[in-house]
Structure 1
Amino acid sequence: MSYKNGSNETYVKLFSSEFNQDPYPTFSKLRQEDPIHQTLLPNGQYSWIITRYEDAVAVLKDPRFIKDYTSFPGEEEQEEEQAVSNIFVKNMLFSDPPDHRRLRGLVQKAFTPKMIEGLRGRIEEITNELLNKVQSKGEMNLIDDFAFPLPIIIICEMLGVPSQDRDKFRTWSNTLVEASNDPEEAAQLQTHMTEFVMYLRQLCAARRQEPEDDMISKLIQSEEEGDSLSEQELYGVISLLIIAGHETTVNLITNGVFALLENPEQKAQLINDPSLIESALEEFLRYNGPVEFSTDRWAADAVELRGKTIAKGDHVIVALDSANRDPEQFSDPEVFDITRGKSKHLSFGKGIHFCLGAPLARLEAEVAVTNLLRRMPDLQINSAPETLEWRPGILMRGLKELPVAF
């Protein structure tokens, strides 16, 4: 479906390759002219898109917008064809209270600021090991050589997943995040989901036989001690931690570095004053956030928003990156400014589903960007910026690759 402006002239097709390369002009039009906008998603589903900051916060915090669609009559889980895909939504991100509180409670102790700060030394070590490998080459693909390996190594170590398997997770994760309604891609998605679940079954079976000091062993122990964690929920929580534990950070680091390289005066300011890193990270998150749209929500009851009626059962997503550039909330929102300071951006969500891994993502990005600029202060894009491609899909916002020279 195309978005049409006031003169009835087609502006841009939502979720097209053109939109994917730069969604912000479209977001701006929608905020001004149709902030509660219904459209057709690439998967063939109609959805309401929430584009203004105030409305985004309201929807993210409103318990009438639920995450578990199976609570609607006639939407019970399917056994055969849905059995595998259901596993990927058996976690706190796709559940409502009281299940949400129970599932989140099983893992949140590992993600407290104190626990995460204890990982700083290991994150520093991995960061410098990765930079050592490319230092003499004078160039690298920032994603393949740096932004991807760092968070996937950390989350794999936390969970107890062999590091040699991390490339499998990248393949599986990319398929899940970039899924569309293309028949060939749908078949590949089913194959990769099945492979992912089989891997998790084998891994959990091994941890049951020989527990270790890792999160998977602790989750299995919780399951065996009767903490109401089903086998599907066990796999669902682990898969969420693996995917969310690296996807957001890869895009945070890459999008942030890309913004710095496109704004060299900001990059120079950060190099000259490394104490600006925390403020810079918040601007990375606001300016071109790693998660473009929120995950699925459904209206449990009819809800009125700005004169529009969102009917019971309607699908709703929040355009987080649009809300983060709402001029009613942020001054000069189209300007990248690392001195902006404390920001009420929505890149980690809002309400009970606020991102559990936010402290880890912030720490990994802080260490990564600080060391990258310290060791490679002349870093620059090794390609024409306009030739860089953004990943497809309607969840994450991230480049496919970012070649850099130093």
Structure 2
Amino acid sequence: MTVQEPQPLTDPVPLMGCPYKADPYPLYERMREAGPVHRVLFPSGVRAWLVTGYDAAHAALNDDRLGKNHDRGNDGWRERASIMPEPQHSQLQVHLLHQDPPKHTHMRRLVTDAFTPRRVEALTPRFQELADTLVDALPEHGPADLVAGFAAHFPFRVLAEVIGLPQELAGRFDRDWGKVVQPVGPADPGRPRYEARLHGLQSYIAEVVAHKREHGDGDLLGRLVAARDQGELSQEELDSIIFQLLVAGQEPVTNQITTALIALFRHPEQLARLRDDPALMPRAVEELLRHDSAFELTTWRFFDRDSDLHGTEVPAGDSVIVSLCAANRDPRRFPDPDTLDLDRSPNPHLAFGHGIHFCPGAALARAELRVALGTLLARLPGLHLAVRDEDLDWIPAVLGRGTHRLPVGYDRRL
């Protein structure tokens, strides 16, 4: 029997389409084997340089030649990648993810106290109450959609507690606004709806700021508004940080709950083991983050001059993106990387990035995953996927992984 040789990679490699979103790992494996850096094409028409191997990814995430500020992007990148129109781009895109030191250092210092492991641990009993309330509202017997019934709400309710978003405002947040980070080009028929989301989110942020200015206290949102009023932040920086908190603090955790559950459904013996031994949960969460990270790709980075990147010449202002998912399945760093091994240790995955842009909410996300998965496994005996794996509806997001819905069955609700 003849073994068919894999087709050579195209240049650029297209990162799009349903098969890719459902399972990008075979493509990432081919890319890693061919070299650490590849030119890729996104659905919006943006071309970028993608870093795939673990060592190369780790180095890129710590490479101080690579900046995050959008001003570094060249005209070719800006023509297609600056999807958010002006003035909104300037008003909402100057948050932490798009800043370099020293501005990044100052802005990050303003938010990190809210997400320390000690504070997260102190709030965890409240997170458990929020999770139980959502499970209480699920049908007594399956089926149910765990995105609509749980994963779409739990992270935002936790976030509201952590940052000090008042309940009346939190209840009016429209999750659809989070889609403003998904590229919709100027000629796309969905552009009017995209712009409506953008204006709705901006109005909401203005209302949050006004409320906190009137009812300021010591919570994170109150401190950020005070920093603006004291001249430590510009209005655009304040709005951008709140934008980042509301969007980045919600969707990635929603999606990570779905990818973690799907991984467990695909490995029922591991699901049963975790359900029967909750002490495994902290290590299991790390492995689930490595195995299929909801943050598939990082946001843009740029060289300010033509530069060598692991043997590839990258022009100044071209975008460089790191594939966290590809790095986390590199067999040179993780033995048997495609296997879900809840005992894997050490587990130096890159699901939260690395270096100065390491996710400031990592401790919170870990706690949310431990509470969410522990609650669902304990209170929904017999939990299983209620559709065929191939019928899962994966979100066509550029940077993230997750599903629109997660239909499940279970024996009963405890």
TM over 0.5: yes
Q: Which residue of 1 aligns with 2:55?
A: 54
Q: Which residue of 1 aligns with 2:230?
A: 225
Q: C-alpha displacement at 1:167, in angstroms?
A: 6.4
How far apart, in 2, do the equivalents of 1:208 and 1:90 lie? 21
Q: Which residue of 2 aligns with 1:172?
A: 177
Check the 8 A contact 2:293/2:325 in 1, yes or no. yes
Amino acid at match of 2:20: F
The equivalent position to 2:347 in structure 1, one of 343, 364, 370, is: 343
How far apart, in 2, do the equivalents of 1:152 and 1:91 lie? 19
How far apart, in 1, do the equivalents of 2:336 and 2:186 lie? 37
Q: Which residue of 2 aligns with 1:69?
A: 70
Check the 8 A contact 2:13/2:38 in 1, yes or no. no
Q: C-alpha displacement at 1:114, in angstroms?
A: 0.7
Amino acid at match of 2:203: M
CA displacement, residues 189-221 of structure 1 (integer Å, 9 cap, x when unaligned):
222112211221122123222324532222111
Q: C-alpha displacement at 1:232, in angstroms?
A: 0.6
Q: C-alpha displacement at 1:343, in angstroms?
A: 0.9
How far apart, in 2, do the equivalents of 1:181 and 1:382 lie? 38
Partner-residue secondary structure (3-state), 1:184: coil
Q: Which residue of 2 aligns with 1:114?
A: 118
How far apart, in 2, do the equivalents of 1:11 and 1:350 lie? 26
How far apart, in 2, do the equivalents of 1:226 and 1:53 lie? 41
CA displacement, residues 20-66 of structure 1 (integer Å, 9 cap, x when unaligned):
11111110111111431112222222200111111111111101111
Q: Which residue of 2 aligns with 1:250?
A: 254
Amino acid at match of 2:202: V
Percent identity over the alignment is 33
Of 269-278 and 10-19, the range deviating more from structure 2? 10-19
Q: Which residue of 1 aligns with 2:23?
A: 22
Structure 2: 5+ residue runs without aligned partners?
none
Partner-residue secondary structure (3-state), 1:119: helix
- CA shift in 2, pair 1:281/1:215, >3 Å: same
Q: Say if 2:188 is the partner of 1:183.
A: yes
Q: Say if 2:313 is the partner of 1:309.
A: yes
Q: Which residue of 2 aligns with 1:236?
A: 240
Q: C-alpha displacement at 1:86, in angstroms?
A: 2.2
Amino acid at match of 2:383: L
- CA shift in 2, pair 1:12/1:62, >3 Å: closer
- CA shift in 2, pair 1:264/1:203, >3 Å: same
- Pairs within 5 Å for 1:1-400: 7=8, 13-71=14-72, 81-134=85-138, 136-157=140-161, 158-162=163-167, 165-166=170-171, 168-177=173-182, 179=184, 183-227=188-232, 229-400=233-404
Amino acid at match of 1:27: Y
- CA shift in 2, pair 1:123/1:237, >3 Å: same
- CA shift in 2, pair 1:7/1:296, >3 Å: closer
How far apart, in 1, do the equivalents of 2:22 and 2:269 lie? 24
Structure 1: 5+ residue runs without aligned partners?
none
- CA shift in 2, pair 1:139/1:341, >3 Å: farther
- CA shift in 2, pair 1:325/1:348, >3 Å: same
Partner-residue secondary structure (3-state), 1:233: helix
Q: Over aligned residue pairs, what C-alpha RMSD do you find?
A: 2.5
Amino acid at match of 1:54: D
Q: Across the two proteins, how many residue pairs are aligned to each other?
A: 400
Partner-residue secondary structure (3-state), 1:293: coil
How far apart, in 1, do the equivalents of 2:397 and 2:73 lie? 26
Q: C-alpha displacement at 1:301, in angstroms?
A: 2.5
How far apart, in 1, do the equivalents of 2:209 and 2:11 lie? 51
Check the 8 A contact 1:172/1:193 in 2, yes or no. yes
Q: C-alpha displacement at 1:81, in angstroms?
A: 4.5
How far apart, in 1, do the equivalents of 2:155 and 2:36 lie? 35
Could you tell me the TM-score, scaled by structure 2's length?
0.90
Could you tell me the TM-score, scaled by structure 1's length?
0.92
Check the 8 A contact 1:49/1:317 in 2, yes or no. yes
